[in-house]
Structure formats: C-alpha cells, structure tokens
Amino acid sequence: MHAWCGPKALRLVQKRSEKTDPDAKALACYGVFFPSQDQRLLRFVKGRPVSEVTTAFLDWVCQRLDLMGKRVWVLIWDNASWHKSQKVRRWIRRHNARVKAEGGVRIVMCLLPVQRPWPGPIEPKWLHGKRAIVEPERTLRAEEVIERVHAYYGCERLEPIAQKTA
C-alpha cells in the first residue's frame, strides 16, 4: 500500500484475529457506481455473497433505477462465482422477461475478461476508498469499517442484505 507518510515508509501488516472474537473476519459489500452522477449505492452483506444475495441486490438496484426513470442497466462486473452463477443468470433472464411484459429496468450483463491488462474504471475508486479507511496501528471492528466506507463514499447507510436461511 502506498501512502505519503513522511520519512518512514508505511507498513501494513495483516493482523490475526483472536479465535474468540465474535466480530466478522471478512466483510462483503455490493456497490454500483453511476459515473455521470458521481453517485454510488452500497449494500453490505450479512453473511456470504452468495447468488441469493446477489439477486436481492440486483432487484434493489433495479427498483432504485426505476425511480430514477432509467430503463436499461448495463452491468459490468468481474467473474466472481456469485456474479456469474446459473442462479444469477437465470434470475436476470426471468427479470428481463418480466420487464419486457410489465415494464421496469432491463439488465444487460457484461462480464469483464478474466485476464485483462488494465484495471476496470471502478478499481481506482475502490482503491482510494481502501486507502482512506485503513488504520495501520490497529484492526478495525466490522462496524467501524462499515461506518468509514459509508462516510468516505457519502452513501446512505442501509440495512445489510441477509442470506435467506431455509
């Protein structure tokens, strides 16, 4: 990690958490960026980012876009398993069929190449966010990370998307 820190280089060392610590060891956050409005919508995940959570996020964004008067959402994302799963692709096909019949926001899904020589346009935004919230002296609690991410990006804090349990 690079930083302007004076004469001594900043060193970030991955810290180990105590096994008895009840705090989350990792966080998942879905985000969408609208460059023309310099706006981001973020939703953290309670649990793992599985297909059901992905489709809940897609549905939520489509509702927001519909309120904004948008009709098509060109969704460009990486090849994470929860992005390209059969469940997610099936949900998008059904969603688009329903939109064609009833109206709403159609999703055009574009997966980025697995290996690309350039970063996606959103990558610098995420990188600056990571650098802005990091604290080299201590491990942040999950709640602190969530609060700092929302503050940095100026996003409305919403309830995390939860995994549905059977």
Q: How would you class 12 by CB atoms within 10 Å of its CB: exposed for 0-12, middle for 13-18, buried for 19 or more?
A: exposed
Q: What CATH fold (topology level) applies to the domain 29-160?
A: Nucleotidyltransferase; domain 5 (3.30.420)
Which pLDDT belongs to residue 128? 83
Which pLDDT belongs to residue 9? 63
pLDDT-based confidence at 43, cuts 50/70/90? Answer: very high
| pLDDT greater at residue 132 or residue 121 | 132
> Does the pLDDT of residue 3 top 60, yes or no?
no
Which pLDDT belongs to residue 7? 62
Enumerate the H helices of 68-141 as residue ranges: 81-84, 86-102, 123-133
Which pLDDT belongs to residue 91? 96
pTM of the model: 0.79
Q: Is the separation of the CB atoms in 160 and 43 below 8 Å? A: yes
Domains of the chain: which residue ranges? 29-160
pLDDT tens digit sequence for 128-140: 888 888 887 778 8
